[in-house]
Amino acid sequence: MTSSAKENALVEALLACKLASLPLPADVKGTWLAEGVLQLIPAEPWQQATVISAGIHGNETAPIEMLLRILADISSGKQPLHQAILVVFGNLPSMRANKRYLHNDMNRLFGGRHAQAKPGNESRRAAQLEQVVADFFASTAPQSQSNRLHLDLHTAIRGSRFAQFSLIPFHRHAYHPSFFALQEACGLDAVVQHTAPGGTFSNFTSDAFGAQSCTLELGKALPFGQNDLTQFATTEAALRALIAGETLPTRDKAPVRYFSVAESIIKSDARFTLNLDPQAENFTELDVGYEIASQPGKHWTVSAKAPYILFPNAGVALGLRAGMLLQPASPCLSLPD
């Protein structure tokens, strides 16, 4: 069996064994809202409704494996569940193909943007996920009230000087100190605040439902079976404590660094050029005055205010973000007026 065939067999086994027929303890009610989307409600009173998603990009496999492991322990009774959760395995066809996506980058299609995209696997799935999340939050509203969370788990394409970090979507409603305490407990090295709306899954849940939402980047994307899940042990412990309604783990590493997006580099011309080593890591500090990117009629130059680069990628489609320039921010991540 080839390496690719082995990986496909592994993901099929994971999906078939863990998702098709999952036995649950008597005190947990499970409902499949769609393929790969499982709602779990404990019998006892609960105060929080949480969406935990992974696999929005199908080749970002470590969070998928971590969630499957947590689900297996809920199934066996080893993992307590005292909060309502919706577990979402996002892009199943691209997971099976070990590809980021098949037709469109799904994490640019939320908030209704799927309606303007070329029809395909991701546009259909984004529309479906918007509906199932709406159904979940509607059904849990009487008890959860405003205690809505969404953690969208990813891994990054390239290496990072801060190995694990989160991105907070643009928002106007309050983000609670307890949410940032969760970021700390997850062992994140950095937190980045978006300063403009976007088409991400976490932006959708924050904007549409007033949820405390974020995208968690937990390391580098690797094929199924090649992940060292011990690297994500701190995040996994925090997630397990969260859904069990237990005290979050105590942080035992350097303080979180906070950033906000000063400028997005939007590729709008086929002659776009990104002047950066392909191996440059996320959060690389660039020289002031350096021309980081250009296209006819537009040049991006690094300023002393915002010298850090995040998610540089010249290969994105026209109209999409080819990178972000970051500036240091205070822990409260205040948005501009």
Task: Name the catalytic one among 130, 217, 236, 246.
Answer: 217
Q: What number of residues does the chain have?
A: 337
**To 5 degrees, how large is the angle CA 207–CA 212–CA 218?**
110
Binding site, residues? 57, 60, 154
- Euclidean distance between CA atoms 21 and 3, whole angstroms: 27
> How far is the C-alpha of 47 from the C-alpha of 22, rounded, in Å?
24
Any idea which residue has 């973000």 for tokens? 321
* Known binding-site residue numbers for Zn(2+): 57, 60, 154
Angle at 266 between CA 293 and CA 153, to 5 degrees: 110
Catalogue the E-assigned strands of the chain: 28-34, 37-42, 49-54, 84-89, 148-156, 165-168, 190-193, 212-220, 257-266, 273-274, 284-285, 291-295, 298-301, 308-310, 321-328
Tokens 């199908």 appear where?
58
**Displacement of CA 266 from its chain's centroid (Å):** 21
Q: Where are the beta strands (DSSP E) in 157-290?
A: 165-168, 190-193, 212-220, 257-266, 273-274, 284-285
Residue reference for tokens 């924050």: 206
User: Is 217 considered catalytic here?
Assistant: yes
- CA max distance for the chain: 63
With b meaning 16 or more CB within 10 Å and e meaning fewer, what string describes 229-249? eeebebbbebbbbbbeeeebb
With tokens 């537009």, the residue in question is: 298
Phi, psi (rounded to 5 degrees) for 126: -60, -45
Which are the catalytic amino acids?
217
